[in-house]
Amino acid sequence: MDKVYVQGMRFYGYHGAFAEENKLGQRFFADVTLELDAEKPGRTDDLDDTVNYAEVYEAVKEVLEGEPVKLVETLTHRVAQQVLKKFAIVDAVSVKVTKPDPPIPGHYDAVAVEIRRERGFETS
């Protein structure tokens, strides 16, 4: 399977288990790997035959800047669900959501959750 990478997307959201996170918000980063058959767009050089990276960004933004949730796991799940719903050409998606500087005891650069989901998952 061919892969398209959309990496280093940055957003500001109000997600977290603590009230302060929901009130103040924080940065979130996302990396998405789309598994698809890129043979046709490779031949046609036509954007209509593949995924538009700007539309992928908007789909991820909708989740990460949208309705607050408590867990990074939930955000990651919802991004995968959103991508598979919006892009019929995508057979599977890997999503990594990173929360830099989490407000937890100790010193952490970041926490992240990465998942991979295949077509059919978006309806579950």
**pLDDT, tens digit, 9 for 90 and up, residues 14-37:** 999 989 999 999 999 999 999 999
The model's pTM is 0.92
Helix and strand counts by DSSP (H, E) for the chain: 4, 4
Tens digits of per-residue pLDDT, 49-91? 999 999 999 999 999 999 999 999 999 999 999 999 999 999 9
Strand-pair partners of 4: 34
Question: Tokens at residue 81, please?
Answer: 């669900």
* Residues 6+ positions from 55 with CB-CB distance below 8 Å: 86, 87
The active-site residue, picked from 23, 86, 96, 99, is 99
**Domain residue limits, the chain:** 2-123
**CB burial string 68-87: b at 16+ within 10 A, e below:** ebeebebbbbbbbbbbbeeb
Active site residue 99: yes
CATH of 2-123, one of 3.40.1440.60, 3.40.50.720, 3.30.465.10, 3.30.1130.10: 3.30.1130.10
